[in-house]
Amino acid sequence: MNNHVTILEIDGNALKHNLNYFKKKLNPETKILAVVKAFGYGSDGVQVAQFLQDKVDYFAVAYTHEGVALRQANVKTPILVLHPQIPNLQTVIAYRLEPNLYNFKIFNAFLKLADQIPLMNYPVHLKFNTGLNRLGFWHTDIPKIIADLKETNHIKVQSLFSHLAASEDLEEKDFTINQINNFTYIAQQFYKHLGYEPMLHILNTSGVVNFAKAQFNMVRIGIGLYGFGNDEQETAQLKNTHNLKSIISQIHIIQPGETVGYNRAFVAKRPTKSATIPIGHADGISRKLGNKKGYVIVNNKKAKIIGNVCMDMIMVDVTKIDCKEGDEVIIFNNQKMLNYIADVSETIVYETLTAISPRIKKVLK
């Protein structure tokens, strides 16, 4: 039982709005894969998947244990494991997860396991590297892959996919188009020689926004599902899904010359009322937000963080705010606040969201 008073509220209506926003950009027959890796981008992958399972065609997780958690929560939608490891392949099969096979080492390992069990037409996905240079087969591997696939009925390719490197950056448009063209060539080789036609997908959130003509059979929606479009205009059309709230644990009156927090980083120049909030850098609050660079909202007013961010607490200046112990504190509840936090923390919203600690209670409303 997690009874932490700091709570991340996940807005179900916002999730639905964002999903429908991207659906309108797609052809009616295009499938949607919702990315729920990394605790659903810092929210709760299980709760998000349970909420969306009748609204999307696929889920994607990064690692096997994330997929297992969804299956244990009775999520029956197909689940693609984007980065499986060989020691986990038996677990992948046990929980009917669908592995991404991205090089010959894991391809051969899975094929061997599928032969031993034996499996019949087990769904797998093949990833090709078209320019991100992270995971994936090369186009020169195609003849060997097809030859191996024709020799077995233990596995069946459910999809071919790739990952765009800079779909949000229109200055890299030529590079992205070249990736799409390379992927199209790869797909054509499989369609010509394999004997059946797997699904195709290459577009992520920004890909849907900027290159919707390349939607193929399915698209992958990640950060867009949670309210960000990697573009101001697109983000303005989306709704924030993450609302992080806490309370005031204690209020202190700090006299001139007294200090607050570790290293005595804040020195009061005048009588100051400080409020202590039960959330800190162990919960994902960057230390760069300390010393008046970051703020929270108390009774509709900004309260700047004073002193250094502690592991489990922050202290804020509420001298000019009418408040009391137990009052609600908003850490963030909109895209503007999240973007500000990311900017001050010298990072991106992806990291700000996924840094939210699992020990914070998560509630989908």
Q: Do 67 and 132 belong to one domain? A: yes
Per-residue pLDDT reduced to its tens digit, 7-43: 999 999 999 999 999 999 999 999 999 999 999 999 9
pLDDT at 289: 98
**Residue pLDDT, tens place only, 240-294:** 999 999 999 999 999 999 999 999 999 999 999 999 999 999 999 999 999 999 9
Query: Is residue 1 pLDDT above 80, yes or no?
Result: no
Q: Compute and round to an integer the Cα radius of gyration of the chain.
A: 24
Residue for token pair 């078209």 = 130
As to burial, measured by CB atoms within 10 angstroms (0-12 exposed, 13-18 middle, 19+ buried), residue 3 is exposed
229 and 306 fall within a common domain:
no
Within a domain: residue 2?
Answer: no
Same domain, 83 and 153: yes
Answer yes or no: is pLDDT of 220 > 80. yes
State whether 160 and 76 are in the same domain. Answer: yes
Residues counted in the chain: 365
Same domain, 306 and 216: no
Confidence bin at 219 (pLDDT 50/70/90): very high
Q: What is the domain-level CATH number for residue 42?
A: 3.20.20.10
Percent of the chain clearing pLDDT 70 (strictly above): 100
Domain finish residue from 222, 237, 252: 237
Mention every residue, 6+ apart, whose C-beta is less than 8 A from residue 41.
Answer: 35, 222, 223, 225, 226, 350, 353, 354
Q: What is the pLDDT of residues 111-139, one digit of tens each?
A: 999 999 999 999 999 999 999 999 999 99
Predicted local confidence at residue 293, as pLDDT: 98
- Considering the domain architecture, whether residues 144 and 41 belong to the same structural domain is answered as yes
Q: Based on the domain organization, do 266 and 226 belong to the same domain?
A: no
Query: What 8-state DSSP symbol labels residue 310?
Result: P
Judged by DSSP in three states, 252 sits in: strand
Note the pLDDT of residue 2.
Answer: 74
Task: Give the C-alpha separation, 179 to 37, whole Å.
Answer: 24
The total number of structural domains that make up the chain:
2
Q: Are 213 and 181 in contact (CB under 8 A)?
A: no
* pLDDT tens per residue across span 138-185: 999 999 999 999 999 999 999 999 999 999 999 999 999 999 999 999
- Within-domain flag for 1: no
H/E run at residue 351: helix 349-354
Q: What is the pTM of this model?
A: 0.95
When pLDDT is averaged across residues 67-83 and rounded to a whole number, the result is 98
Does 219 share its domain with 294?
A: no
For residue 232, the surrounding DSSP H or E stretch is helix 232-237
User: Based on the domain organization, do 119 and 19 belong to the same domain?
Assistant: yes
Same domain assignment for residues 137 and 263:
no
Query: What pLDDT is stored for residue 3 in this prediction?
Result: 79
- In Å, how far are 96, 159, 351 from 67, measured between CA atoms? 9, 18, 21
In terms of domains, do 192 and 64 share one? yes
Q: Which domain holds residue 153?
A: 12-237
pLDDT at 164: 98
Q: Tell me what pLDDT residue 23 has.
A: 97
The band of 212, judged by pLDDT with boundaries at 50, 70 and 90, is very high
Burial 224-242 (b: 16+ CB within 10 A, else e): bbbbbbbeeebbeebbbbb
pLDDT tens-place string over residues 309-337: 999 999 999 999 999 999 999 999 999 99
Which DSSP string corresponds to 61-111?
ESSHHHHHHHHHTT--S-EEESS--GGGHHHHHHTT-EEEE-SHHHHHHHH
DSSP 168: T
Q: Say yes or no: 119 and 146 in one domain.
A: yes
